[in-house]
Chain A
């Protein structure tokens, strides 16, 4: 029995290390902090803040297209600007405290730009992103959000594995 237990423990630890090579602490703590940030806003205002409506609401400052100037964007564009800038600021505090003062990516520029364009299009067609659907939507047990999240997860894993398969690094 004891030997069997040891074998299971070793297998368990090996697969755990394989699936979570950086551990899970930073991820779980980060997730809880994100949830607290969203929850504070929700408790005070009943708003479930998403990160991607910022694009349309901010475009209303510079575009005359009626689509970007709908009442819901005009009424929220100032606080969405504050929300986004404070996210930048919060991350900067992290970098100053724990991040050795900052960090940049090696992911190729065309991936950032091209991926960014598709993210911009996709979140607007799909009515939300990893914040709106992935956090607020899942937290609301919204079937629409579960469908959206399942779709983008599956497709993103396929896309990332494809990039890796054709040898694009980083």
Chain B
């Protein structure tokens, strides 16, 4: 792949700075502690609303201003845009499955990485589970696509 050869030299350093701030913020906010997330989901401490709300408000402001006033991103040359995913039933189904998992464990991907950073090694079980789940989902989808193709070659 030539993507990394042609990439701006500051691209990876910027990702590292942004990711570090993201991880620091997750730890600062308590999201890295499943107990605090579970307190929120059990409606005993609604503070996490301010985490998601604060993060979305800052990011939303930046996205809006960048789209309105800036041209292209300096490190990639790409135009600024929104995060858009097409809506279908899988958005709701996936949200529901994720919700059960989040409610059981108090873990989501970002918070799990941050949790590892604060020394919470038992979280490796959760991260292993996430990889297992993602692999199973991908494997199943690949298998189903294969079967579909033999049944309906016009697809």
Which residues from chain A sit less than 8 Å from chain B, CB to CB?
A: 19-24, 26-52, 54-56, 58-59, 63, 65-68, 74-75, 78-79, 82-95, 98-99, 101-107, 109, 111-145, 147-164, 170
Chain B interface residues (CB < 8 Å from chain A): 1, 3-4, 10-12, 14-36, 38, 41-60, 62-63, 66, 70, 72-76, 78-87, 90-123, 125-139, 141-142, 145
From the candidates A29, A88, A123, name the one contacting B117 in the complex (CB within 8 A): A88
For the A-B complex, the count of residue pairs with Cβ-Cβ distances under 8 Å equals 536
- Contact check, A116 vs B129: say whether CB atoms are below 8 A apart: yes
B90 neighbours in A (Cβ, 8 Å)? 125-127
With A34-B29, A59-B138, A118-B97 given, can you name 19 additional A-B contacts, CB distance below 8 Å?
A27-B50, A28-B54, A30-B54, A38-B18, A43-B66, A44-B11, A46-B76, A46-B80, A82-B15, A83-B16, A87-B20, A89-B23, A91-B113, A91-B117, A112-B34, A123-B130, A130-B108, A151-B96, A158-B99
Tell me if A134 and B66 are in contact (CB < 8 A): no
Q: B25 near A116 (CB under 8 angstroms)?
A: no
Please judge, given known A-B contacts A39-B58, A44-B75, whether A22 and B21 are in contact too, CB under 8 Å: no
